[in-house]
Amino acid sequence: MAESFGSDAERYDRARPAYPRELVDRIVAASAGTDVLDVGCGTGIEARQFRAAGCRVLGIDPDARMAGFARRSGLDVEVAKFEDWEPAGRTFDAVVAGQAWHWVDPVAGPAKAARVLRPGGLLAVFAHVFQPPAEVAEAFSAACRRVLPGLPFAAESRPAAEIYDVMFTGFADAIAKAAGFGAPDRWRFEWERTYTRDEWLDFLPTTGGLTRLPPAELAEVLTDVGAAVDELGGSFVLPYTTLAVVAHTA
């Protein structure tokens, strides 16, 4: 699944949200310099934000299609899994990972980050948490149970905030156990975005559970979700929380 997002890189880049400016600025301010390594950079969404903030960014992504899209926006990207990537003696002031650290080995990842960070360097991993309105979420779940009954996420009923809290607690614990890092800190940023029906249906196919779905089954899910958004008047406000775990090299 980690390498399925490049099946429609253009849609991914168009539909996936950027990160709060406050998060980017805070990472830049906490870093000792401006050389940034972006792990799992995808199409370059956060890499472009760090570049706009004055950083020099090198991206790494295992999907050549995503890397190719990012390069077309002028980013320097190397195709590899972070655990296998060869730094060739290069070091960085910050290692960042947006919506990607859960694909990285929890032991090898922090250890690799510590090796490529300069003294006082910053590891920052972050992701968006969101929960659509109940009517939209229920339509999506019902459609997935019907179309994708064998997949675990079709039966997932826990709130997104709970799932991500467990995930980020695990990130923090793994970083704390890794040699070379001080105690990790956790940040959170609250914001919101209004989605029209078309915008939400453009976004959904970029999510992990749907990236490999055949067109007919995907259309069935989107039809049901679209009807639920129509019932809300054709749009809705989606609250976002962007979570981050950060730690400096000791």
For the chain, the domains span 5-132+158-192+239-248
Per CATH, the architecture of 5-132+158-192+239-248 is what? 3-Layer(aba) Sandwich (3.40)
Stated pTM of the model: 0.93
Predicted confidence (pLDDT) per residue in 59-91, tens digit? 999 999 999 999 999 999 999 999 999 999 999
Distance in angstroms (rounded) separating the CA atoms of residues 164 and 159: 9
pLDDT band at 152 (very low <50, low <70, confident <90, very high): low
Secondary structure (3-state) at 93: strand
Query: Which pLDDT belongs to residue 8?
Result: 83
Is 124 in contact with 95 (CB distance < 8 Å)? yes
